[in-house]
Amino acid sequence: MLNHPLAPTLKQHLLLCLLLLSCGWEKAACALGDGRKIWQQPKPDSSIKDQSFLHDTFPSGFLWGSGTSALQTEGAWDQEGKGPSIWDHFTHSNISAKLAPETANVASDSYTHWDKDVEALEYLGVRSYYFSLSWPRLFPNGSAKSRPNTAAVEHYSRLIERLLEKRIEPIVTLYHWDLPQVLQDHYGGWKNDSIVELFEEYAAFCFYTFGSRVRYWLTMHNPYLVAVQGYGTGAHAPGEKGGPAGFLIVAHNLIRAHAKAWHTYNTHFRASQKGKVSIVLGSHWVEPQRGQATVTNVELCQQSMEAALGWFANPIFGDGDYPVSLKIKQGTLLPTFSPEEKRWVQTTADFFALSFGPNNLRLDRELVQYGQTVTPDLRRILGWIKLAYGDPKVLVTEGGWFSEASVGKEDTVAIYLMKRFINQVLQAIKFDGVQVFGYSAWSLVDGFEWNYGYTVRRGLFHINFSEPNRTRTPKTTAQYYRRVVSDNGFPGDETSRWITGRFPCDFHWGIADSTLQVQFYPFSPQFTDHHLYSWNASGDGLLRPVPGAKMQTRRAQCTDYLAIRGHLRLFESTGASHYRFALNWSLILPQGDLSNVNTEALRYYRCVLYELKKLNLHAVVILYHPTHRSPQLGLPGPLQATGGWLNVSTVEAFQEYAALCYQQLGSWVPYWITINEPNRLIDIYSSWKEKHQAARNLLLAHAKAWRLYERQHSAHQGALVSLALHADWVEPANPFVDSHAAAAQRFLLFELGRFLDPLLRTGYEEKHGNVDYPEEMKAYQEERAGVMDLPGSPLPTFTEAETKEIRGTLSFIALNHFTTRLVAPYRHTQDNFQRKQPPDHDCLILSDPTWPSSSLGQALVPGGLRKMLKWVSRRYGGALPIIVTASGVDDRAPVEDKLRQHFLKSYLQEALKARQLDRVNLQGFYVWKLQDRHAPQFGLFTSTHHQSKAKASIAIYREIITHDGFPEDRTTQTCRSSEVHVRCSVCAWMFRHKATLVFAGCIIITAVMLAALVIFVIITKRNQKRGRGRRVNRGRRREGVAVCLRPPVKSQL
């Protein structure tokens, strides 16, 4: 082979010195291309809608396809003249202990049922079929100089002709891992460079025989796995464990064999056949440690990619040589290319063919070091290929994942993985400008999955391998892929359409909080300190209490609680009109009854309500807000100790508590919510029986509190009373399976119908009789009880009196909506039932990975809000108003919370569509929540520890409020000034400059006082002078000074 005169360590040192001299330590662009830039650029934000999932179509003429390989699907391993392959020998001799105990003797029997494969392609509507030729079937002895197997030639000719008849483009691979065993026995397989010449002859025969009908040729599939797994680790055939010394030589020969085949086509066939030739390269993808794109982390990622994809791509698509990092790592073990060979290997591909799937992501651990993260991000690797290799045209020849064999035809998870992969390709085309011209979903049919045998499946069509006829049945992934191909991508959905319009003047623009924290002590000590103080008595400038002197303290006023003023000042600045918060039941009644009433807590809440009223703002008050953080669930301790909501006495205690709150606070409360999210509270109970019992008691507690208010307070207080339910929307996880659609409906009935049907379904009484729980829910419970040999339905019943008391006890429908989920029917097995009792709705909760999501995993699906509102409105009628009493998303951004801005605009758009297009009686929308408690999360303001800074989303919300929605002319509605409190700009300016204004006021007051003092002094002096003058005159009169008096003159007429 090649001579390596230098010792490994010395040569490595020399190569490293050359690398440093030519590039420098910090120049990331020293290697060919700009691949490193992919990590240096900002990573696409998956929380933004189009970056997570793009609704758009692929370019016209996009080459949709599917694929198989000969060894995995053909079967007929020893029929009609076929010789054994290395995989036949590998499976029959069971060389590998890790190998599943199956063979590919029959596999999918595509050699016999090839026409059924073509029908499957027609079903999908694809325009291409990626398949491989079997080298040992065409030439059992491995040599193309010998006579070919006529049966094999006729078989592949029939297949190609039928494909062309159906206008399906054949994309043909010459070698997909099934080397003739005879070549392994005689030459040692790909370790021997004699195979290079034999492969060239085999390729020439295929080009000559089939080339006039084939436009796309692929020399070999994923040579990395051939070399490393076949000749390095022994995981694949031929099962040799030669380590780096073996697989580096094999890889070198594979590259040379590909180049020879390309040159053969280029020289002898291209002019007449006008086809294209490439090689399929597979790879993983890595992201830097903790997402930190430092120079070191980026270099490590680059080296990881060069050790797999770059190993083969750099010689062919780059400079004709191996990556420098690979030369340094492998030293003298790595074969070298002569200058002539570099030029000969370079550019021996007409397009870039990429394989990206589970086999590529299960690579050697040495490729992922120092905390790097392997991710199945097809968009990112396509972007790296563009930057590293000069923007080549790309064909994704293998894209897809696997399912367990037990999944069968309903491969639900695989649908979403396929959806993500294909959409990542679309994003790479539209956003990154990658020239992808085709995508092949792998694979067409279930087959032999190498060392996993038949334990995993990757086919779009299901095959029962125990049936001799190997019937092809489309899986749900086939139905989904068919839709994508028909649509040429992902056309825009309903939520992408923007509408204009306004919400009504009396619409609730709200902010929702949980339990309001009570600050018992006012700001100033004058309300609690009885001492009298003297200042500077001893000249030390200190305040000292006067011994024995006690003063009477003044009771604090509402304005003295600065915490209230500061909190409401934040709320007021948002422009919202309604504030939803909760009282603390365990704080007001620590013992759970009236024996110990916390009057100070009630007074504090009264002050909050009073201050809200002064600001012309409206309160929505929750009596009971359960919390999972507390072991008492927000209940007074004694009530929880006696069973909590499993004990009917808690129902009576809640009624007593509600009566106290109505009496003490009702004058300032226009909206009451008795219980927040009882449907989430019951989730803490482990058994079905306890869940149903708790739900029953919660319904009774709400109804009693509602009836009490109606009897005693409604006439003079006039508030509306409801309970609030958690109301996330659900979609069938698999839209092609009826059981999933049924599961979605069942989930909604258990989540919402369990509570709303007993309260509201008065319109259905004539049709259904005396309805309590949903009929569908009761029927399902009884059916499941029978299947599982339970004594009966766990659903408790209501008495006739209880039914009447519950019926109609809602003044409005309050829903807390945050996200949308996927649901699938729970798969029952005796094993998982014994480990954990399934949920009573019998549904599994899933999520679509292509949905934008927050850091806490909350999916942003605006259309789900509209669908939920429409479902509730249709089921319960439009008479009662619906109010979304909480909706929000977590966002870790400290100020520029872009995710929340997008959430507010998109969700309120869907709310407007529900009102205008669906005629839903929607009367309010409350954003969750006002302020963070600690780190940035759901709050519109940062926590007090972060100076209560306003986040950018407040401006978005305030603008929507100002315009009452999304009017076309962007003008303010006339009712806004009178109906909704809007903070004046002068007030805002004064608040921002309050310190300056106080200082200026002090100066002005001082100046006025000085002026008044001067005027007073001047006037006083004048008066003093006048007084002295009058005293002198009086003295003269007393001394007898003569005064002439003129006698009266008489008339002489």
pLDDT at 628 over 90: no
Q: What is residue 523's predicted lDDT score, i.e. its pLDDT?
A: 59
Rg (CA), the chain: 41
- Reading the block at residue 112, the tokens are 């016999």
Assess contact for 186 and 143: CB atoms under 8 A.
no
> Cβ distance 374 to 18 under 8 Å?
no
Q: Is there a contact between 972 and 962 (Cβ–Cβ < 8 Å)?
A: yes
**Which of these, 144, 166, 173, lies nearest to 71 by C-alpha position?**
173
Would you tell me how many other CB atoms lie within 10 Å of the CB of residue 686? 10
> What does the chain come to in residues?
1053
- DSSP per residue, 829-870: -HHHHHHSPPPTT-EEEE--TTS-B-TT--B--HHHHHHHHH
| pLDDT one-digit tens code per residue, 943-956 | 988 789 999 999 99
What angle do the packed helices 114-124 and 476-487 form, to 10 degrees? 50
Looking at residue 1029, its pLDDT comes to 58
pLDDT at 172: 98
pLDDT tier at 969 (50, 70, 90 boundaries)?
A: confident
- DSSP for 224-272 reads HHHHHIIIII-SSTT----HHHHHHHHHHHHHHHHHHHHHHHHHHTHHH
Mean pLDDT over all residues of the chain? 88
740, two tokens: 């999933």
Residue pointed to by tokens 């594979």: 254
Which range, of 155-159, 259-263, 578-582, 1002-1006, averages the lowest pLDDT? 1002-1006
Predicted confidence band at 1042 (pLDDT cuts at 50, 70, 90)?
Answer: very low
CB 368 within 8 Å of CB 304: yes
Residue 987 is predicted with a pLDDT of 60
For residue 554, the number of C-alpha atoms closer than 13 Å in the C-beta half-sphere is 8
Tokens of 397: 């020849």
> Max alpha carbon distance in the chain (Å)?
176
How far is Cα 321 from Cα 301, in angstroms, rounded to an integer?
20
> What percentage of residues in the chain have a pLDDT greater than 70?
87
By DSSP bridging, strand 508-515 and strand 843-846 are unpaired
CA distances in angstroms from 321 to 61, 151, 255, 316, 325, listed in the order given: 35, 41, 11, 8, 12
DSSP string, 546-583: EEEEE-PPPPPPGGG-HHHHHHHHHHHHTT-SEEEEE-
Tell me, rounded to whole angstroms, the distance of Cα 880 from its chain centroid: 33
Backbone angles phi, psi at 456, to 5 degrees: -125, 155
Our measurement of the distance from residue 135's CA atom to the centroid of its chain's CA atoms, rounded to an integer in Å, reads 46
pLDDT over 90 at 243, yes or no: yes
The mean-pLDDT minimum among 100-104, 657-661, 686-690 falls in 100-104
Residues whose CB is less than 8 angstroms from the CB of residue 601 and which lie 6 or more positions away in sequence, other chains included: 518, 520, 584, 587, 588
Q: What is the DSSP letter of 763?
A: G
In terms of Cα–Cα distance, which of 867, 779, 790, 788 is closest to 826? 788
SS3 936: coil
The whole-number pLDDT of residue 364 equals: 57
Q: Give the DSSP letter of residue 189.
A: G
- For position 58, what pLDDT does the model report? 98
Mean local confidence (pLDDT), 60-84: 98
DSSP structure class, residue 516: P
Cα–Cα distance, 106 to 90 (Å, whole number): 15
**Is residue 411 a contact partner of residue 403, using CB atoms and an 8 Å limit?**
yes
155-169, 322-336, 762-776: segment of lowest average pLDDT: 762-776
Question: pLDDT tens-digit profile of 904-955?
Answer: 999 999 999 999 999 999 999 999 999 999 889 999 999 988 789 999 999 9
DSSP state of 973: P
pLDDT tier at 182, thresholds 50, 70, 90: very high
Residue 100: pLDDT band by 50, 70, 90 thresholds?
A: low
List the structure tokens of 958: 């305030």
714-740 pLDDT, tens digit each: 999 999 999 999 999 999 999 999 999
Residue 6: what pLDDT?
32
Give, for 18, the enclosing helix (H) or strand (E). Answer: helix 8-23
SS3 of residue 508 by DSSP? strand
- As beta bridge partners, residue 508 has 924
DSSP string, 1018-1030: HHHHHHHHHHHHH
Specify whether the backbone of 889 is left (phi greater than 0), alpha (psi in -120 to 50) or beta. Answer: beta
Interatomic CA distance for residues 807 and 626, integer angstroms: 24
- The three state secondary structure string of 340-371 is HHHHHHCCCCCCEEEEECHHHHCCCHHHCCCC
Residue 171: which of 271, 58, 282, 67 has the closest Cα?
67
User: Which of 961, 973, 968 lies closest to 925 in space, CA to CA?
Assistant: 961
> How many degrees, rounded to 5, is the angle at CA 955 between CA 953 and CA 959?
120
Q: What are phi and psi of 745, to 5 degrees?
A: -65, -40
**pLDDT value of position 11:** 39
**What values do phi and psi take at 566, rounded to 5?**
-65, -40
Nearest residue to 32 (alpha-carbon basis) of 285, 306, 381? 306
Is residue 537 over pLDDT 80?
Answer: no
Task: Compare 836 and 915 and report the one with higher pLDDT.
Answer: 915
Q: Is residue 833 over pLDDT 60?
A: no
pLDDT digits (tens, 9 = 90+) for 842-888: 999 999 999 999 999 999 999 999 999 999 999 999 899 999 999 99
Helix (H) or strand (E) holding 514: strand 508-515
Number of Cβ atoms within 10 Å of the Cβ of 82: 23
Share of the chain above pLDDT 90, in %: 72
Model confidence at 770, pLDDT cuts 50, 70, 90, reads low
Question: 1030: pLDDT confidence band, cut at 50, 70 and 90?
Answer: low
Residue 891's pLDDT is 96
For residue range 189-237, list pLDDT tens digits in order.
999 999 999 999 999 999 999 999 999 999 999 999 999 999 999 999 9
Q: Could you report the per-residue pLDDT of 568-613, keeping only the tens digit for each? A: 999 999 999 999 999 999 999 999 999 999 999 999 999 999 999 9
Q: How far apart are CA 802 and CA 651, in angstroms?
A: 13
> What is the pLDDT at residue 144?
98
Q: Residues 259-268: what's their mean pLDDT?
A: 98
Q: What is the 3-state secondary structure (H, E, C) of 659-724?
A: HHHHHHHHHHCCEEEEEECHHHHHHHCCCHHHHHHHHHHHHHHHHHHHHHHHHHCHHHHCCEEEEE
Of the pLDDT bands very low, low, confident and very high (cuts 50, 70, 90), residue 981 is very low
Which band of pLDDT confidence, cut at 50, 70 and 90, is reported for residue 835? low
Q: Residue 227 and residue 233: Cα distance in Å, rounded?
A: 9
Helix 309-317 / helix 295-306 crossing angle, nearest 10 deg: 80
The pTM is what? 0.85
DSSP, res 68: -
Which candidate, 374, 555, 416, places its Cα nearest to that of 53? 416
1023 token code pair:
């008066």
| Predicted local confidence at residue 911, as pLDDT | 98
β-partners of residue 17 are none
The three-state secondary structure class of 383 is helix
pLDDT at 363: 61
Mean pLDDT of 535-553: 79
Q: What is the mean pLDDT of residues 386-412?
A: 95
